Amino acid sequence: MRHLYLTGNMGSGKTTVGRLAAQRLGAPFYDLDQRIEQATGRTIAELFAQYGEEAFRQLERKALAETLFLWDGIVATGGGVVLDELNRKAMRLLGWVIYLRASPETLWQRLQHATDRPLLRTESPYETLQAIVQAREPLYQEADWVIDTDALSPEEVAEEIVRIVAPTPDDPLITLVMPDKPNGCLVAIAPGIIEIAAEAILHHIQPTRIAILTHTNLRRYAEPLHSAFTQRGVPAHLMTLPSGEQMKSLRVAERLYAQLLEAGCDRGSLLVIVGGGVLGDLGGFVAATYMRGILYVQVPTTLLAQVDSSVGGKVGVDLPQGKNLVGTFHQPVMTLIDPETLDTLPLRHWRNGFAEMLKYGAALQIGLWRRLQMIVEAKLISPRRVHREAALWTLPIARCIALKAQIASEDERDLSGRRAVLNFGHTVGHAIEAALGYRDWLHGEAIAAGMVAEAEIGRILGITLPEVADELRETIAQAGLPTQLPAGVDPDTLLTHMRHDKKRAGDSLSIVLLEAIGNARLVPNIPTEAIREALARCATS
């Protein structure tokens, strides 16, 4: 494992939880404050009193840098370590960062009798604590993962940390979509989980029979699954389709209905989809409409499907006029995500999925964005290569899933506008795909150029700061993704396709625009001239 840095306010339990997590992982434990005290021969309170906070922060920066030379382990940091941007960058570079978040009320219960907290030696310590929590929250949010600890014991927090950084097929990282609703979905992620997929599925579902839908080149995953179901006494039928967006059609759906009928599938049957986003959308639509709806499970095998389309229950097919214009909402009962299935994924398809990951970071979560920037800056993904180790990608994939699950749980059917934020880059991106006849460019490539174009719309309207638009464009380009519109596609053609966008209200277009990295919102009534100007700025020179 790499270093795991625990951040959080004073009293959040970093030291207690860190020791417990280190024991469970069989890893060393380091307490940054204790290392500073040992190195100086003074307590933290004495250092603050004698030398002031700024001198202490310099010692803290030095102690953090020295963790580079320590065996990989759990590092409990001081509450103020995030105040220094260099510290935040160093932690991302050297390992994963987990924020233990606790409310001011919980922190005060733990700290009100403490005598070793120099920052709380004020006339109104509780108000001081509240101010510290509020001021530091945006900095803590740059972590790779956030654990809300108010209702958890230290042991429970430690167990969650172990699942986050070292999930296994038997103890995967679990995310629940709409946990309080009957049609909720369980998402499990762990390297190697596909090897026990049949066991995991049948543990939760007892179908009359099973149909497996996959691509011809994915039989290496689908056939062992088929055999495992059969060995467990459940009749199984294997269906295969070629790959490509052209498969997402009503005509192909009709063919699958016929195959399900021929296989004897009834309303108690289960459809298991092993493949990428196109197959997941199509298969989910078939499951939603066959005999008025049967259960289905997603086993996504592309990065794009793992981080986006396999979670949330949006299913559908395309029409010649546009993408996903016929569809519904039908949640899978389970989604099993195995990052090891990405090992043979072509580089272009890695970048295809990475574009959607960038979307999540840019629109929803600055911590994910900073992690993805680090991946780009370290050339772990680039125009020419990608590092495919599952250990590098599992946590960022899981972060995307958690964000998608939260949004889908709040707005399953896209009625409040909250879920629309997930479509940053998609209004222009879908128009690009339609203009190209769903050929030449992959979905993520179109979304990448769409994000740049929509950031330009925000810049023109004064919603997106120039430096935010520039940062977005630069990061997308460094990842090897397009930042300009396809050659030969003019703004008026794109505008025509954009008028088929599902977020349109009457003749007016609503588009998701960035206010800051990690903060986007749906803006209605976008002036046509602003869109045309932004598209012209992004045209291929």
Please provide the DSSP assignment of 431-490 as one string: HHHHHTTT-SS-HHHHHHHHHHHHHHHHHHHTSS-HHHHHHHHHHHHHTT---SPPTT--
> What are residue 536's phi and psi, to 5 degrees?
-65, -40
What's 530's DSSP letter? H
Tell me how crowded residue 525 is: count the other CB atoms within 10 A of its CB.
11
Look up residue 263 and give its two tokens.
């296989």
Q: Give the whole-angstrom CA distance, residue 128 versus residue 249.
A: 59
Q: Give the whole-angstrom CA distance, residue 125 versus residue 108.
A: 9
- Interhelix angle 390-410/366-377, rounded to 10 degrees, is 150
Q: Give the whole-angstrom CA distance, residue 283 versus residue 205.
A: 18
SS (H, E, C) 172-221: CEEEEECCCCCCCEEEEECCCHHHHHHHHHHHHCCCCCEEEEEEHHHHHH
Q: What is the value of pTM for the model shown?
A: 0.93
Would you identify the CATH topology of the domain 173-345? Rossmann fold (3.40.50)
**Would you write out the chain's pLDDT as a tens digit for each of its 541 residues?**
689 999 999 999 999 999 999 999 999 999 999 999 999 999 988 998 899 889 999 999 999 999 999 999 999 999 999 999 999 999 999 999 999 999 999 999 999 888 888 888 898 999 999 999 999 999 999 999 999 999 999 999 999 999 999 999 999 999 999 888 888 899 999 999 999 999 999 999 999 999 999 999 999 999 999 999 999 999 999 999 998 888 999 999 999 999 999 999 999 999 999 999 999 999 999 999 999 999 999 999 999 999 999 999 999 999 887 778 899 999 999 999 999 999 999 999 999 999 999 999 999 999 999 999 999 999 999 999 999 999 999 999 999 999 999 998 888 877 667 888 999 999 999 999 999 988 899 999 999 999 999 999 999 999 999 999 999 999 999 999 999 999 999 999 999 999 876 555 556 799 999 999 999 999 999 999 999 999 999 998 7
Equal CATH topology for 3-165 and 173-345: yes
- Residues 6 or more apart from 99 whose CB is under 8 A from it? 7, 8, 140, 141, 143, 145, 146, 147, 367
Would you identify the CATH topology of the domain 395-537? Dehydroquinate synthase-like, alpha domain (1.20.1090)
Would you identify the CATH topology of the domain 3-165? Rossmann fold (3.40.50)
Q: Tell me the sheet residues that pair with 275.
A: 300
- Residues 6 or more apart from 57 whose CB is under 8 A from it? 80, 83, 84
DSSP string spanning 221-275? HHHHHHHHHHHTT--EEEEEE--SGGG-SHHHHHHHHHHHHHTT--TT-EEEEEE
Site of tokens 């004698």: 50
Tell me how crowded residue 501 is: count the other CB atoms within 10 A of its CB.
19
Domain ranges of the chain: 3-165, 173-345, 395-537
Amino acid (one-letter) located at 383: P
Q: Give the whole-angstrom CA distance, residue 506 versus residue 494.
A: 18
Instruction: Give which of 417, 415, 449, 414 is closest to 432, Cα–Cα.
Output: 449
